[in-house]
Each structure stands twice: as C-alpha cells, then as structure tokens.
Structure 1
Amino acid sequence: MGILTVLREASNDESKELLATNVLEQTKGREIVLSSHQIASKVIENLLEFCSDETLGEYQEAFKADIRSLCLNGFSSHVLQKLISISAMRYLTKNSVEDEPPEKKIKTEDGIPLGILSKSKSFVETCSKFLLNNLEEFVWDSYANHVIRTCLTTLSGRILEEKVSIPGEWTEIFKEYVARLRDWPFFADFPYQELTSGLLQFLIQALARVDKNTLKSIGGFFTEPNTSETPQESPSKLHKLFSTESSIRFLEVLISVAGNKLFTKIFLRLFQGNFKELSLLKSANFSVQKLLDNMKNKDDFNICFTELEPHFAEILQTGHTGIILALCLACKRLEINQNQFIKVGLPKN
C-alpha cells in the first residue's frame, strides 16, 4: 500500500504517470493473477488511471484473454470495471483516431495499423459484447452484474458529465442490451430484487442520456396500475413499486430522470391521492421528497400541496421533516402556495 501513498503524494500528473507506468510494467504477464489478489488489485485499480496509453493497451490485451474469470472474481471485477471506464474516457475525450500522431500508432497481430485510441474503443466493445452474450448468466452474479452496469454507463457516454459524440457501434450494442433485457420474462420483477434493481437504475440513467423514448416506454411499463393482485393479496391501494426498498430506490431514480410526460404519468398513477400515506411511511417518504424536488408543473404541485397541507403536524410528528422542507423549496421554486405554506407553518395562538 506504500505505492498508493507515493501516488497520492506525487506532485503532478507527469510524476503519477511515470510511477503508474513503472509499477504496472512489473506486472507484465501476471496481470490477471495479480488483479485477482485483494491487495494487488487495489493498487492496480488506482494506477490504471494514470498509466501511459501503451501500458493501458497492454492491460487491455491481457484482460481480453479471460474476461469471464475477471467478471466473476470479487477483486478482478473491480479492476475490469476501472479498465473499461478508463478506456472509454480516454477514447471519448480524445475522440478521433485520425488525430493521433504517427508515434502513437500500433499494429494488430495481423499487422493492420490500429491507433491506440481505437484500441481503447475496441476493448470497450469486446467486453460489452462478451457480457451481452452471457447476459442471462451474468445478471444474477453479484460481481458481473456491476461490470454490466459499467458497460451500460460507458456505451451511453454517461461516463462523462458533458455530452459527447458516441460511436455508432456503442449505440448498437447498447440497444441490444435494452432489447435483450426487455424481452426477458423476469424483466417485470427487476425492480423488486436488490441486484437487478441496481442494474435497472443504471439502465434508465443511461437511457436518459441516449434514448428518452425508450425511457418513457420502460417507465410507463413499470408504473402500470396494479392489476394482477386481488385485494386479499394486496390490501394496500399503493402501487407495487412501494412494496420493497429496492423498488423504491428504482422509483426515486426514475423520478429524477423522467421527462415531463413520464413524470406526469408517475405523479398520476402512483402519488395522486396517496400523498398523506406515503409521507407518513418511513420507507416511502423519500420518494415524495424526490417527486417534490423534481416537480415542474404548478398544477401538479397544487394538487400535492392541497393533499399534504392538512397533515403538516402529523408529518412533523413522524420526524419526516424532509417532506416539509421539500414542499417549502418547491413553493419557492415554482412561486406558488407560498402564503399558504407560511400560514400553515405559523404557530397557532
């Protein structure tokens, strides 16, 4: 771990690159073995960000030889995630293979010139396709599932904060992920299990970046009114998405990325008429806060405020003060119901 201390104390990026490149050079031929080791994997994971393009390419070549074992190991899977992310970021930020200087060119085994940046692009595609081809197995593995999430993030360009041009090949692979997942008989159950809910959260965040129509379709699918359960099976009138912690986390992410039409659909199907009950529930009150934080329509907010106004005291008694704060901030942001909020909040003589 002394290497990481030296890395943190390095004075500039050039020093960090030199250290990273020198250390990783010592791992040549043992990349996969060392990445599967608890301590060594942490060192490699941290150094990859700073190594030279050439050293990064050597790790890409080594990892392509056994992607399966890397995905299924608790330590090497993290290194693989980091390598995919770094490869994508370097390609997307530099963007064009044609702009590379001649000295940055390398050759494939067939002797075909291939830019180092293009090699990073190819590595992202190779890993993403491998996981896609093994999707039915890897979705249920706790380590490989997280590698899939990284692939979705990189293929959509969400790895970078700013929007950038995404290669057409990445878009096609991403679309195939979406199609394969949606075709699964188990897809409807994804929000209700922790592992698949997490994957679904990454998927909809990626869709918000690249395909808002599909996001709206998937959001509509999961917020369809309850129809399959009898009143005896589900005595609560609340939507099934409020039934588990995993599905509530998914709903909160869906609210945060939803466009106007999907947001209104979520509001009408899941929240209208249920604000008091949801605000008093320990498990669901954060969903109400998330809805209020993202609300843009004054008419929708007025409905929400009207439902909650008589119950301010009860909400405060439960300790869910975040609901009241979210209401206050929404009143200010939307410039509506501010006087009513102040009157309700004033102590009664």
Structure 2
Amino acid sequence: MGEESNDNNPPHKRQKKKRKNFLKNAKKYAKKGQMGRGTQIPQDLYDYFVQILESIKQGVEDPDERQALVNNVLERTKGEELNIVGNQLGCRLIELLLPYATPEDLERFIEVLSPELRRLCSDNFTSHIIETLLRVSCDRATEYLQILDQLDDEGPKKKRKKTKSKYTDEHITACHEFTLKISKYVLNNLEDFVWDRYANHILRSALKCLSGIVLLPGEKPKQNMFKQAKEGNPSIPPHSTEMKYRVVPDEYKEIVKEFANRLSAWPQFKDLPYKNITSALLQVLLYAVKNTDKNLTKSLIKKLLNESFAPEDWVSTGDDEKKDTMDIDSEELKEEKKVETAPEDWDSVGNDEKISKIHIKELNEEKKAKIHIKELNEEKKVETSGSLPPVFENESAVRLLEAALFVSKKKTYTQIYARCFIHRLGRLSCMKMLNFTVQRLMDNCHIKEEFEPMFDELATKYDAILACGNTGVLVAIAKACLRIKTKQMQFLQNLEKALNCSEPDNQKHFAVQCLKMAPLRDNDTKKEYFIHIHGSVILQTMLDFQRPAKVVSCLLELPPEELVYILCDTKGSHVADAFCKGQFVGAKARDKLIWKLKGFYQTLALSQHGSRAFEQIFEAASMEQKIKIMSEISDKSNLLNSTNYGRLIAAKLDVATFKTSQKTWENNRGTKKDE
C-alpha cells in the first residue's frame, strides 16, 4: 500500500492500549519483597505459583498432564484456602484452575468460603473466586440437562441411549445447593450489593447462571490461560439478534423473576439506568428475563420507557419555562392596560389625552410583538435543546436502551421506536455516541412496515452520515434491506448519490467509492487507496441483493490490476466471497471475473489475503476453468513455495500431482467432489 493509504489509516484505526503483563509484574513484586497485593503468602509458595502460571502460559495441551497440574496445585492450598484466594497472584491462579478441579477440591473450596460470604463478596480479589465457584457449580449442576436436551433433538425417546454425567449425583446435588445458596444470598442482600463495585458482578453472574446465559451480545469468553481448541464462534457479535441459552431448572428461573420484581419495586428504579454499575446490572437482568418470562420482560421495558427513557412529561421543562415567561409578560401587559383604562375624568385632560392614548396603543403593540418573539424563541429552544428524550443524554442509559431493543417483542419494539426514535433518526445518526443505538434499532427490526419509515427518514441523510464518519449506520440499513427484502434499489440509489456516482459517467466508480466510503472527487485518480471495512461490508451486502447487476458490472469494469489490489487487501478480499457465493450473481458474471483475473492468479496465491480470495474463486470455477488456473500457477510452481500462503495453496490444490499427470489430478478432484 502506498503513501496515500498510510495517510488515511490514522482516522480509521484506534491505538490499542498495551496490556499489562501480569507475570512480569508478579516477578517485579517478588524482587521488592512484596508477595503481591492483598493477603501475604510465603515466598516459596508465591514463587511456586509464578512457575505454575508460566507453565500454563506456555501451554498444557495434554488433558492428563493438565489434570495432574491442577490436582498438585490445589493440594498445596489445603488449610490455606482463605489466605491464598485473598492474594492477587493466588486468586488469579485458583480462578484459572477451579473449572478443572475434582469434585472433592471444588466442594472443599465451597465449604471453606461459604461462612465468609459477606466479607468475600465485597473483596476485590476473592469476589472473583466466588463468581468462578458459582459459574462452575451451576455448569456442573445443569450439565445433565444439556445432555438430555441434545438427546431429545436426536430422535424419539425409545431410541435414546442412556448416558450419565461424568459427576456423581452427590456432587451434582452439592453444586445445585451451592448455586441456590449464593443466588438467594445475593438476592437477600440486593440493596447493599447493587451499589458495591465487586458484589455487583456477583449479582450479574448469578443472573447469567440462573437464566442459562452463556455469553451476552458483544461479550468475549473469559480467557483461560490453558491452550484449548476454540469451539465454534467464541463470542456473540453486538449486532446479533439471537442468543442461545442453556437449559436450566424452573427453580432457577423463579429466582430470576424475584430479582426482577424486587428491583423494579424500588422507588429509585427510574434512576438506575443512569449509573454505570446499575445500568450494567439491568442489562444482564433484561437478557436473563428474556429466557424466563416474556410478560415480565414486557413490563420491565414498559416501566423503563415510562419512568426513565422517555417519561410522558419529559418535554415539560421547556413548556414550563415558556409558560413562566408568558405569565410575566402578561402581568406587564395588564399594568399597561390599567393605564389605558384610567379614571372616568380622563377625557377632561384635553388634547394630551389623545396623545397619551396613542402612546399607550403603541406600547401595547410593541409589547405584543415582544411576547410573540419570545414565544417563537422559546418554541425554537424547546425544539433544539429538548427534542431528545432523557435516555440519549447518558451513555449508560443508552446501552440499556440497546439491550431493551434486543429483548423486546414486536409491540414493545414499536413503542420504543415511537417514544424515543421517530423523527430523530437523522440527528441521532450523526452523533458520535448515539449512532450505535440507531444501528441496534435497525438490527432488531424485522417488520417491513416499521422499517420503511426509518429508511425514508434517513434517505436524505447519507451525505451527513458519510461526512461525520458514522458509516456503521449505512451498514445497518444495508443489512436491514437485505434481511427484510425491501428498499434495496432505493438504498443503492441513495448511496450512489451520496458518493457522487449518480451521473452516467461516474457510475463505473461506484464500487470503488463504496469501498473507500468517500464521495468521488474530480481529481481522484489514486491507484492505491484505503479500503474501509464498512465499505467492504456494504458492497458484500449489495452483492446479496435481489438485483445486484449494477454492483457486479462496476466490479467487472475495473482493470485487472485494481481488482487484484482489492482482493489482496485484508478487507477487500471478502468481496470475493460475496461475488462467488451470491445467490443472485449470475454464472456469466463469475465466468467473466475468472477470465478477467487470468495472468494474476500467481499474485493472488502468494498474498496472505489474496490466497483466501483465490480459493473462493477457484471453488466457483468450472472444471475447465480450474484446469486453466492450475496450468497458470503450475508453470511457476517454485514461486508458490516462496511464501507460506503460496505453499498452502500448492498443498491444498495438489499442484505437484497436476504437474505430473493432469488426468490423475482431474480424477482425484472428481473423487473428492463426490465425497
């Protein structure tokens, strides 16, 4: 990438903070004679824990070796459990090992820590251990329910095989009782724990465990230092509209309902969304109640909407000021009128009376004009400063509003839209903090009749959205158009206009300007440019539209060198996925792309990101086209081995066999396809 791209990078990339090295700091404390923060542990035990953490960080992949390590460490903690979990280093290590602890070791920690719950829940270190114990206990207590659920999905009950949990009934019962004990304990101490920095997290963990939440939207799984293979999607993206819940007993769900009822009955409930710590708790509560009681979810959102987000009287501040001003002016006007309707002998004054009457009339007219101007100013003030509901003035409340959008059903969603968003989307989309809320509004919209007014309201705002850089809103609109199957051509036309590509001569630049997410300029002739991630996602989405012909033709009109540049970019390479897999992209268009890239497949194969685009294109090609591509890359097969990515391509496509015998290669490919 050239110099231009380097200039463009800073506005789009945020500098990441360097993470603190926990082990490095632990060793530094030891050299100073400080055995970590919190409670003090013997130096030999401290050094032993440091060595164990180093071993774990390097990776313990063998299950037997890992279990032996866990057992040895937990054996060393006997009799010193409270002291060790109160130490920063000891707490970190025990937190890592508890999920792998034997039933005996887990129950030992439960027994030792249970009498000290009040103190431990508010401690900055041991509160993490209580959370981990709760999470592990709940997982083990409900594991058999997940097994039964999987068996129910497999087929009829008669054909099911009997399977048992790896834990004994006694251990499952102990874990179940501890889960209930902790949950009920924090519920009974709700008034104190809600405001406690550390105990508040235990409340959230309790709600997640009791309702079966695995991960919240946007939440990444807690990293364990043991190296393990990742299973499936490691996190739920924030724009996802679905969450998977574990199966939990009805007894757990009843406690979640009690949490919700207790919290919503608080007199200060309406203020909870406006504090970071309480807003986070309410977010988890909404996600938890979603899997517990739909009617309770509805009533919670309605209460938040009526009392916190957009109360019925939230505009009254501006109106009251206006009323007060008018009252003062009315009093002044009455005083002037008193002069006008003066004593009965007023006429006896002579000519002066006429002058006075004229003067008074002029004063009255001037006063009326002033009142009218003040009224207009007050109305303007109310419109500009008070036109957004209170929820949009606080980031914590905004995040709770996003959670409410996620869990709400059709009617509740409509109420939130009508009370908070309608006629304000353009303004919200251009605000740094609030444009994300507009995105969540779009992501959770599934009804055509509701989406179309949103789309029409933002149709003229694309220029402003591009100018302020909140292009995620355009991504949300594009995805909603695809999901709901409406307004697709209008979106394309609106974006084309915003990018200055609506003129016939400029339409060929539409795909490139979309990737740049910048309007076309007269002197814009850069061959290398920064590809915006949102531009790439929008282009991919438009390729999945029902009529992607315009986008397809724009891409195919590009010179091969520019196409290769796009496909070798980290974000641009995904365009190949959408082009080759798009349901409405024609076979002829794919053939044309394959033909257009002739002579450049070697370049793609050698590139890190180009190689994955190459694989997508190769899979979409016919056998005849595959043979031509193979002939091209096998002519200079030695070059493929010059990079790791080229070497992988050569191995996957079996270039060596193709060079030896094309017929054998064809037979092998045919066999793999049949399998």
State TM-score, norm by structure 1: 0.91
**How many angstroms apart in 1 are the aligned matches of 2:52 and 2:166?**
33
Q: What code does the residue aligned with 1:140 have? A: W
Q: What code does the residue aligned with 1:271 have? A: F
Aligned to 2:377: none
> Aligned to 2:109, which of 35, 45, 59?
59
**How many angstroms apart in 1 are the aligned matches of 2:166 and 2:484?**
56
Q: What code does the residue aligned with 1:120 have? A: C
> Aligned to 1:5, which of 54, 59, 79?
54
State TM-score, norm by structure 2: 0.48
Aligned to 2:224: none
Is the 1:74–1:143 Cα contact (8 Å) retained in structure 2? yes
Shift of residue 100, structure 1, vs aligned partner = 7.0
Is the 1:21–1:51 Cα contact (8 Å) retained in structure 2? yes
Change over 3 Å in CA distance of 1:6–1:102 after alignment to 2: closer
Is the 2:213–2:246 Cα contact (8 Å) retained in structure 1? no
SS in structure 2 of the partner of residue 48 of structure 1: helix
Q: Which has the larger radius of gyration?
A: 2
Change over 3 Å in CA distance of 1:63–1:159 after alignment to 2: farther
SS in structure 2 of the partner of residue 317 of structure 1: helix
- Please give the residue correspondences for 1:77-96 in structure 2 after superposition, counting only pairs within 5 Å: 77-95=127-145
Is the 1:32–1:70 Cα contact (8 Å) retained in structure 2? no
Shift of residue 167, structure 1, vs aligned partner = 2.5
- Please give the residue correspondences for 1:66-215 in structure 2 after superposition, counting only pairs within 5 Å: 66-95=116-145, 104=168, 115-159=170-214, 162-215=244-297
- Please give the residue correspondences for 1:32-51 in structure 2 after superposition, counting only pairs within 5 Å: 32-51=82-101
> Aligned to 2:432, which of 276, 282, 285?
282
SS in structure 2 of the partner of residue 63 of structure 1: helix
Shift of residue 102, structure 1, vs aligned partner = 12
Is the 2:482–2:488 Cα contact (8 Å) retained in structure 1? yes
> Aligned to 2:450, which of 300, 325, 331?
300
Shift of residue 169, structure 1, vs aligned partner = 2.9
Is the 1:207–1:215 Cα contact (8 Å) retained in structure 2? yes
Matched, 1:227 2:312: yes
Aligned to 1:309: 459
**How many angstroms apart in 2 are the aligned matches of 1:243 and 1:28?**
52
**How many angstroms apart in 2 are the aligned matches of 1:244 and 1:13?**
48
Aligned to 1:328: 478
**How many angstroms apart in 2 are the aligned matches of 1:340 and 1:183?**
47
**How many angstroms apart in 2 are the aligned matches of 1:214 and 1:102?**
36
Is the 2:430–2:465 Cα contact (8 Å) retained in structure 1? yes
**How many angstroms apart in 1 are the aligned matches of 2:90 and 2:317?**
55
SS in structure 1 of the partner of residue 387 of structure 2: coil
Deviations 1:96-133 (CA, angstroms, capped at 9, x unpaired):
9xx8799946xxxxxxxxx1111001111111111111
SS in structure 1 of the partner of residue 432 of structure 2: coil
Shift of residue 85, structure 1, vs aligned partner = 0.4
Q: What code does the residue aligned with 1:317 have? A: A
Count of matched residue positions in the alignment of Structure 1 and Structure 2: 338
- Please give the residue correspondences for 1:16-31 in structure 2 after superposition, counting only pairs within 5 Å: 16-31=66-81
Is the 2:143–2:165 Cα contact (8 Å) retained in structure 1? no
Shift of residue 228, structure 1, vs aligned partner = 4.0
Shift of residue 165, structure 1, vs aligned partner = 3.8
Deviations 1:231-251 (CA, angstroms, capped at 9, x unpaired):
338842222211101001111
Is the 1:4–1:46 Cα contact (8 Å) retained in structure 2? no
**How many angstroms apart in 2 are the aligned matches of 1:328 and 1:6?**
48
Q: Which has the higher contact order (CA 8 A, sep 6+)?
A: 1
Change over 3 Å in CA distance of 1:20–1:116 after alignment to 2: same
Is the 1:280–1:320 Cα contact (8 Å) retained in structure 2? yes
Q: What code does the residue aligned with 1:4 have? A: L
Deviations 1:240-282 (CA, angstroms, capped at 9, x unpaired):
2111010011111221222222222212221111111111111
SS in structure 2 of the partner of residue 137 of structure 1: helix
Structure 2: give runs of 5+ residues left out of the alignment.
1-49, 148-162, 216-242, 322-381, 504-675
Matched, 1:239 2:369: no
Structure 1: give runs of 5+ residues left out of the alignment.
106-114
